Amino acid sequence: MSPLDLVTDHGQPVREDLGHLPLALRGVTVSYGAEPVVFSVDMSVAPGAMTAIIGPNGAGKSTLLKAALGVVKPLAGRVTAWGAPLASQRARIAYVPQRASVDWDFPTQVRDVVLMGLYRELGLLRRVRARHMDKVMACLDRVGMAEFADRQIGQLSGGQQQRVFLARALAQEADLYLLDEPFAGVDAATEAAIIAVLKSLRDEGKTVVAVHHDLSTVEAYFDRVFLINRRRMAEGPVAEAFTDETLRATYGGRLGDGLVARAG
């Protein structure tokens, strides 16, 4: 247990300095109906590391991420980024939503989607200039999608769509990257390409947090884990927090294929 945990009590901080944490949640509860999906969760995202959010289906992984971004409004609790209110730090945070959350039949091109990552820079009416398009192309190049810039997004494979979303997040030039299931339904080549980009971000000192469901790759991909099943089950470096004991506590009786894969 870190000293941070000792000074919080269900979201009521007792003299706590969160300034060094890119992201901190304290006592965050989210509910869509009567039943809370995420209950009184504390989370401390370490700077310059790659953290996996892990838990069974319906454990509130995506909801937690959305609450951390202000995409859903928590019922209770607070979210800070570098110790400041989330709203003041949005320019430093990039987001990759679940691929299935948008309609890929939308009439737009790959380069337009990536350009959306520059919205904070462009605002309502500022002209798109050559340097903006250069940045877009550089981001597409980094995920290996430069040659698809003019494609309609519906013509891409699932893996290519996921890379476009990652390129859009890169265009945001943030310090903290939050990704919702970036490896869901993508091919092996895309998975390798994405993890290479995320690791290079980490090596540049950026912070990466991803909702992840494949337990067999956690040790290879991530530095830290955050285990959740509606409540926080464990948090820390992979070696300490990603153990048979914490996994059993998180997944309960539902020890899925992932655990078997990990054992095998």
Residues forming the site for other proteins (CB under 8 A): 66, 69-71, 87, 90, 93, 95, 97, 101-103, 105-109, 112-113, 116, 119-120, 122-125, 152, 154, 168
Beta carbon of residue 195, minimum distance to other proteins (angstroms, whole number) = 22
In one letter, which amino acid is 37? V
Q: Of 180 and 225, which CB lies nearer to other proteins in the complex structure?
A: 180
Q: Give alpha helix (H) positions in 106-256.
A: 110-115, 119-122, 130-142, 158-171, 188-203, 218-221, 238-241, 244-251
What letter does residue 18 receive in the DSSP assignment?
A: -
Residue keyed to tokens 């790959």: 110
> Considering only CA atoms, which of 48, 52, 2, 40 is closest in space to residue 21?
48
Q: Could you tell me the smallest distance in angstroms from the CB atom of residue 116 to other proteins?
A: 5
The CB-of-154 to other proteins minimum distance in angstroms stands at 8
Task: Select 102 or 196, whichever has its Cβ closest to other proteins.
Answer: 102
Closer by beta carbon to other proteins, 150 or else 203: 150
Q: Cβ 37 to other proteins, closest distance in Å?
A: 16
- Extended strands (E) in the chain: 8-9, 12-13, 23-31, 36-45, 50-54, 76-81, 84-85, 93-96, 176-180, 207-211, 224-229, 231-237
**Which of 66, 212 has the CB closer to other proteins?**
66
Q: How far is the CB of 104 from other proteins (least distance, A)?
A: 10
CB closer to other proteins, 140 vs 225: 140
Strand order in the sheet with 76-81: 36-45, 23-31, 76-81, 84-85
